[in-house]
Amino acid sequence: MTSPIALVDGTGFPWPVYGSGTSLRDTDCSTQIAAALRAGFRHIDCAEMYRNAAAVGAGIAQSGVPRGELYVTTKLLPVPAGATAADSLRGALRTMQLGHVDLCLVHEPVGHRDLAETWRQMEACRTLGLTKSIGVSNFRVRDLEEIRQGGASVPVVNQIEVHPYVYEASLPVLQYMREHHILPVAFSGLAPLWRVQGGPLNPILDAIASRMRDTTGGAVTRAQVLQLWLRKKGIPYTTTTSTPDRLYEYLAVAQLPDLDDDDEQQIDAAGRTAHHRFFCKYIDEP
C-alpha cells in the first residue's frame, strides 16, 4: 500500500482501493474480498448498486484483518420517497455487519429529487457516526456547484472514471476539484487494456514497460504503467481483479519508480487521439 492521502476533513485515504463492483457485481465475492485483504489491500470500495454487500461483509470477516486496520467505502443510490440516506446507510451496515463505514459517497448526481437536500442527508449520516467522511461520485462541475451552494461542507472525494482516453474531457472537473480541495479517485483506470480493442496507447505502454524493465530489473506490465500514470497525476485509484496474481501485480506498483515527464506526456498525447467513456455518458453531454 502507498501512504494514505490527507483529505480535507483531516482523515487519511488509503490506496490502492480494491473494488467490489464491475465484474464482481451481483456475485458472492467473499473469496475475492478476503484474498485482496490477505494480499495487502486495506481499502474496499463497495456500493448499494452492486447488490453484494453481504458477501463483502463476509469477505472482510473471513480475511481476519481487524476492522481497525481497514477502510471501507460505500456508495448510496437515491433514496425512495419518505426515506433518508441514513436509512439506506444503516441498511447497508446491517448487511455488511459493520458498525460504520469510513467513507460514504453519493453514487451519481442523477435521479435525486433535490441534490442539495441529498447532501444535507449525507452530512447527517456523518453526524450520526454512520460514516467518518462523505463524498460523491460521477459528479460534474455543475453538480459540485449545486451542493456547494446548498450545503455546509465540501465532499472529500469525487470518484470518477479516469484513464488516458477520458483524461482530456475530465480536465475541467479536475481543475474545479483542485481549487476546492476535493480529491479525485479514479475508477476504470485499466479500461484501455480490456474495454478498448487495440488502441493507440498500447505501443506507448509497451515501450515504457520495456524501458522500466531494463532499469528496475523486474517485470513491469501495461497495467502497472497505467497505474503509475494515475499516480503521476496525483490520482489514487480503485481497481479490481478476480485473478489472484494480479493482486500482487497491482500492489507491487508501490515499489516502482515514478514515470518521468516524457512518459506522462506520451501517454497523454496518445490518450488525446481517442475519446472513450464507459460509465455515466451524461458527463459528456453539454
Ligand X SMILES: NC(=O)c1ccc[n+]([C@@H]2O[C@H](COP(=O)([O-])OP(=O)(O)OC[C@H]3O[C@@H](n4cnc5c(N)ncnc54)[C@H](OP(=O)(O)O)[C@@H]3O)[C@@H](O)[C@H]2O)c1
Q: Which residues are catalytic?
A: 50
Neighbours of 248 (CB within 10 A): 10
Q: Decide whether 32 or 266 has the Cβ nearer to ligand X.
A: 32
Give least dist CB 187 to ligand X, A. Answer: 3
Task: Answer yes or no: are the C-beta atoms of 59 and 242 closer than 8 Å.
Answer: no
Q: Decide whether 2 or 127 has the Cβ nearer to ligand X.
A: 2
Give least dist CB 222 to ligand X, A. Answer: 6
Q: Decide whether 128 or 203 has the Cβ nearer to ligand X.
A: 203
Nearest residue to the partner ligand X, using Cβ: 19
Alpha helices in the chain (DSSP H): 30-39, 53-63, 85-96, 115-127, 141-150, 164-179, 191-194, 201-216, 222-232, 244-251, 261-272
Q: Decide whether 11 or 22 has the Cβ nearer to ligand X.
A: 22
Give least dist CB 259 to ligand X, A. Answer: 17
List residues binding ligand X (CB under 6 A): 19-23, 45, 137-138, 159, 187-191, 193-194, 222-223, 238-243, 246, 279
Give the rounded distance of the alpha carbon of 151 from its chain centre: 23
Q: What grid cell was written down for 15? A: 490506496
Give the rounded distance of the alpha carbon of 243 from its chain centre: 19
Please count the residues of the chain: 286
Give least dist CB 88 to ligand X, A. Answer: 16
Q: How far apart are CA 73 and CA 100, in angstroms?
A: 10
Q: Decide whether 82 or 281 has the Cβ nearer to ligand X.
A: 281
Question: Is position 112 annotated in a ligand binding site?
Answer: no
Give least dist CB 16 to ligand X, A. Answer: 9
Strands 12-15 and 2-6: antiparallel
Q: Decide whether 44 or 93 has the Cβ nearer to ligand X.
A: 44
Task: Answer yes or no: are the C-beta atoms of 135 and 45 closer than 8 Å.
Answer: no
**Which residue(s) pair with 105 in the sheet?**
75, 135
Q: What is the DSSP string of 47-58?
A: -GGGS-HHHHHH
One-letter amino acid of 95: T
Per the listing, cell 479490481 goes with 240
Task: Answer yes or no: are the C-beta atoms of 240 and 19 closer than 8 Å.
Answer: yes
DSSP-based three-state secondary structure for 259 = coil
Task: Answer yes or no: are the C-beta atoms of 28 and 56 closer than 8 Å.
Answer: no
Q: Which residues are annotated as a binding site for substrate?
A: 107
Q: Which residues are annotated as a binding site?
A: 107
